Amino acid sequence: MKKNQLVIVTLLFMIFSLSAIFVMAEGSGQPKNSPFLITDKLPHPTKLLMQQWDNAELNLSEEQKTKLLVVRKKTMGNVKKLGKEITVLEQQVVDGSLGGKSPEELRSLVQEIGQLKGEATMVHLRCIHTTNTILDQQQIDFLNK
């Protein structure tokens, strides 16, 4: 009987702990599971462009649209791939932490997550830079309004 009680108490503790983690993450102002090191501060130009794609004031040429779609596809593909890797590693850290591993035992996983988030941030920065080289100054100004 004590073994069953211990299992139940352990499960309840894990559920409560995970709930608390999720509540804290939601209140932090950062997007959940963001693959980036810098969140909510850099623009997402291809997302903005998709919202304004056919806006006459933005006035994208067909050549620009073709180039921008390539940038978006490449960026989204790379970020999704990195995001999946990050999610797996983050879960390993959570599982290890809840399983009693020490911070030192989890250090290499945390460092790997940091490296992958750095790569994702560089993909994002390249997207911003490349997008700005495709657009003219009036289009950039329009998007920055």
What would the pLDDT profile of 15-44 be if each residue is shown by its tens digit?
555 444 444 444 445 446 899 999 989 999
What are the residues whose beta carbons fall under 8 Å from the beta carbon of 121, sequence distance 6 or more?
36, 37, 38
Q: Are 10 and 4 a contacting pair, CB within 8 Å?
A: no
CA distance 86 to 111: 11
- Give the pLDDT of residue 121: 98
Q: What is the pLDDT along the chain (145 residues), one digit of tens a residue?
A: 566 665 565 544 455 554 444 444 444 454 468 999 999 899 999 999 999 999 999 999 999 999 999 999 999 999 999 999 999 999 999 999 999 999 999 999 999 999 999 999 999 999 999 999 999 999 999 998 8
**Position 83: which residue type?**
G
- pTM (two decimals): 0.74
CA distance 27 to 10: 26
- Give the pLDDT of residue 145: 85
Its sign, for the CA torsion 136, 134, 53, 144, is negative
- Give the pLDDT of residue 137: 96
Which of 7, 144, 125 minimizes the C-alpha distance to 71? 125
The structure tokens listed for 124 are 């994002």
Half-sphere exposure of 70 (CA within 13 A, CB side): 7
Beta strand ranges found along 3-138 (DSSP E): none
